[in-house]
């Protein structure tokens, strides 16, 4: 292949534009939509936060996601090799390629704790299905969550099962493994979600749920809330750590990147909002608090299911939904690592097993952060990190540093280093004002916004 510098074997491609959309949507739709979005919305008072979040997705998240995908397609290799080659072709310093190295490390660390939380969904499918929530009071349900966290064996078991599923899917290959799994899991995800929203309509206080999510009350929105919304825009779209660059490398040339990325953003947003509509009506109908934080779906929601007709069935379906969402994201995180090994001649199966084992081992740090190492605060001497466990630090490293910093670098590269003609041809927005606006956002607006979040997060 003359343009990318001559590798012998033809690289596999997604079988269609739809296959890419489903895979990228699978990456985007994850714990971020079903777990995090509802609880940060709850903590930040609802409607006004949702509006700001939507604006952040549209104005800052999507342009950067588009840049990341088109860089991946142009590069046509693992992110690390792609970025190195693009720098050469664009006559830029090879230093830009560090974004792919950072992404590599970040995806590795991210999966190590994402898998532990993904494992919680496995544990909770079990709890829900055997009726453990039925009639239980707040203390019992809180104890169930606390009991899981305090048991390293339980956490390790589910973390292991989760990682095995990820390795099995990714190891089977792009089409036979990932595409096949995604083609089954994504439709299932949408069906489950719609069923759960239907349940919330019938059994929940749907009106209050709608009002909470969509009636903005700006007095409830703090600066912190705005920055949380912006930070979450990166996380939810999976953009900034070169995971979407890896997926983009399999994207056929004729696919329009702009249109595809908008579809992904709309679907991701839709799932987050629908998850809110599946959760909050049940919370309100049972007189519970929307602002419970991370325990919203593991404590508050089970309490609601435990008091409701059909709670066993629909509670089980809810945690199955969470599992499906988490798995399709997890496979995207290990992909850049496996691709990097493939670039070095390691077969995919072995590469998946090898990287999966290392990530699994690192995950043990997260497992222990909830129990034996709960009082181990490695950076506790810095007031910014007081009381933070290893898991908190991993999360901070990925969500607050790597994702925004990577997004910033990608925006700057596409906006300033790439020639406008190449960018124009790759993005597929025509050559009018819309393209100019897109380039302006990449050059000025997104970098400025990211810098603000970044500085705020550090101090
Ligand atoms: N977008 C995923 C979610 O919302 O859960 C999380 C994620 C996946 C972040 C992949 C970053 C990434 F590279
Ligand atoms: Na998401």
Ligand nearest, relative to CA of residue 36: 1
Q: Which atom of ligand 1 is nearest to the CA of 236?
A: 4
405 and 458 in contact (C-beta within 8 Å)? no
Which 3 state secondary structure label does DSSP give 137?
coil
pLDDT higher than 90, residue 457: no
Q: In the structure, what pLDDT confidence band is assigned to residue 323 with cuts at 50, 70 and 90?
A: very high
Q: Report, as an integer, the average pLDDT of 230-245.
A: 95
Q: Which of 276, 281, 300 is nearest to 289 (CA)?
A: 300
What is the 421 CA–ligand 1 centroid distance (Å)?
31
What is the 27 CA–ligand 2 centroid distance (Å)?
7
If you take atom 10 of ligand 1, which residue's CA is the nearest one? 238
pLDDT for position 107 = 97
Instruction: Give pLDDT tens digits for 13-58.
Output: 999 999 999 999 999 999 999 999 999 999 999 999 999 999 999 9
Q: Report, as an integer, the average pLDDT of 441-450.
A: 94
Q: In this structure, what token pair is assigned to residue 364? A: 């043990």
What is the 317 CA–ligand 2 centroid distance (Å)?
19
User: Cα(429)–Cα(255) distance, rounded to whole angstroms?
Assistant: 12
User: Cα(24)–Cα(19) distance, rounded to whole angstroms?
Assistant: 9
When the pLDDT of each residue in the chain is averaged and rounded to a whole number, the result is: 94
Give the number of other Cβ atoms within 10 Å of residue 386's Cβ: 10
Ligand nearest, relative to CA of residue 31: 1
pLDDT for position 7 = 47
67 and 245 in contact (C-beta within 8 Å)? no
Residue of 333, 359, 406 to mutate, ligand 1, most atoms within 8 A of C-beta = 333
Alpha-helical segments (H) within 130-256 = 138-150, 152-171, 180-203, 206-214, 223-237, 243-248
pLDDT higher than 50, residue 1: no
Residues with C-beta less than 6 Å from any ligand 1 atom: 27-28, 30-33, 107, 110, 235-236, 238, 241, 243, 329, 332-333
Instruction: Give pLDDT tens digits for 197-214.
Output: 999 999 999 999 999 999
Residue of 24, 33, 99, 110 to mutate, ligand 1, most atoms within 8 A of C-beta = 110
pLDDT for position 308 = 95
Q: Domains of the chain (ranges plus CATH)?
A: 2-458 (1.20.1740)
- HSE, side-chain direction, 13 A CA sphere, residue 455: 5
If you take atom 11 of ligand 1, which residue's CA is the nearest one? 238
Q: In this structure, what token pair is assigned to residue 81? A: 């090799």
pLDDT higher than 70, residue 8: no
If you take atom 12 of ligand 1, which residue's CA is the nearest one? 238
Q: Report, as an integer, the average pLDDT of 439-454.
A: 92
pLDDT for position 9 = 59
pLDDT for position 4 = 41
pLDDT for position 224 = 87
pLDDT for position 5 = 40
What is the 83 CA–ligand 2 centroid distance (Å)?
25
Instruction: Give pLDDT tens digits for 362-396.
Output: 999 999 999 999 999 999 999 889 999 999 999 99
Give the number of other Cβ atoms within 10 Å of residue 256's Cβ: 13
Q: How far is CA 371 from the centre of its chain?
A: 25
Ligand nearest, relative to CA of residue 271: 2
Percent of the chain past pLDDT 70, that is, above it, reads 98
The model's pTM is 0.94
Percent of the chain past pLDDT 90, that is, above it, reads 91
Q: In the structure, what pLDDT confidence band is assigned to residue 453 with cuts at 50, 70 and 90?
A: confident
Q: In the structure, what pLDDT confidence band is assigned to residue 456 with cuts at 50, 70 and 90?
A: confident
What is the 64 CA–ligand 2 centroid distance (Å)?
15
User: Cα(407)–Cα(427) distance, rounded to whole angstroms?
Assistant: 17
Q: Which atom of ligand 1 is nearest to the CA of 240?
A: 13
Instruction: Give pLDDT tens digits for 242-286.
Output: 999 999 999 999 999 999 999 999 999 999 999 999 999 999 999
If you take atom 7 of ligand 1, which residue's CA is the nearest one? 238
Instruction: Give pLDDT tens digits for 83-135.
Output: 999 999 999 999 999 999 999 999 999 999 999 999 999 999 999 999 999 99
DSSP 351-381: HHHHHHHHHHHHHHHHHHHTTTTTT--TTTT
Ligand nearest, relative to CA of residue 53: 2
């Amino acid at each position: 292949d003359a343009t990318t510098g001559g590798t012998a074997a033809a690289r596999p491609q997604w079988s269609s534009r739809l296959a890419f959309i489903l895979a990228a949507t699978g990456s985007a739709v994850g714990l971020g939509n079903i777990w995090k979005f509802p609880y940060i919305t709850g903590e930040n008072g609802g409607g006004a936060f949702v509006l700001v979040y939507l604006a952040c997705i549209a104005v800052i998240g999507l342009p950067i996601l588009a840049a990341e995908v088109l860089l991946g397609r142009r590069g046509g290799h693992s992110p690390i090799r792609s970025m190195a080659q693009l720098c050469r072709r664009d006559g830029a310093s090879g230093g830009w390629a560090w974004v792919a190295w950072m992404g590599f490390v970040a995806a590795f660390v991210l999966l190590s704790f994402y898998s532990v939380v993904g494992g919680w969904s496995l544990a909770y499918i079990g709890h829900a299905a055997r009726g453990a929530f039925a009639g239980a009071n707040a203390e019992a349900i809180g104890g169930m969550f606390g009991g899981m966290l305090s048991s390293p064996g339980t956490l390790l078991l589910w973390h292991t099962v989760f990682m095995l599923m990820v390795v099995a899917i990714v190891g089977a290959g792009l089409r036979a493994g990932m595409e096949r799994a995604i083609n089954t899991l994504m439709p299932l995800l949408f069906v489950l979600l719609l069923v759960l929203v239907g349940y919330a309509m019938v059994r929940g206080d749907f009106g209050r749920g709608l009002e909470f999510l969509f009636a903005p009350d700006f007095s409830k929105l703090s600066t912190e809330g705005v920055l949380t919304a912006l930070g979450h825009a990166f996380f939810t779209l999976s953009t900034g750590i070169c995971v979407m660059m890896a997926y983009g490398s399999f994207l056929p040339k004729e696919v329009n990147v702009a249109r595809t990325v908008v579809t992904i953003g709309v679907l991701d947003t839709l799932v987050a909002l629908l998850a809110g509509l599946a959760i909050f009506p049940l919370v309100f109908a049972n007189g519970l608090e929307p602002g419970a934080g991370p325990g919203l779906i593991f404590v508050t929601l089970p309490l609601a299911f435990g008091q409701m007709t059909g709670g066993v069935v629909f509670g089980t379906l809810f945690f199955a939904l969470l599992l499906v969402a988490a798995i399709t994201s997890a496979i995207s995180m290990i992909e850049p690592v496996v691709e990097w090994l493939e670039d070095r001649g390691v077969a995919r199966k072995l590469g998946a097993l090898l990287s999966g084992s290392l990530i699994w081992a690192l995950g043990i740090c997260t497992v222990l952060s909830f129990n034996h190492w709960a009082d181990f605060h490695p950076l506790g001497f810095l007031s910014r990190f007081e009381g933070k466990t290893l898991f908190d630090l991993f999360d901070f490293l990925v969500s607050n540093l790597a994702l925004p910093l990577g997004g910033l670098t990608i925006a700057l590269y596409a906006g300033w280093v790439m020639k406008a003609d190449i960018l124009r041809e790759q993005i597929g927005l025509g050559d009018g004002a819309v393209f100019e606006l897109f380039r302006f956002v990449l050059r000025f607006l997104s970098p400025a916004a990211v810098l603000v979040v970044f500085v705020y997060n550090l101090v």
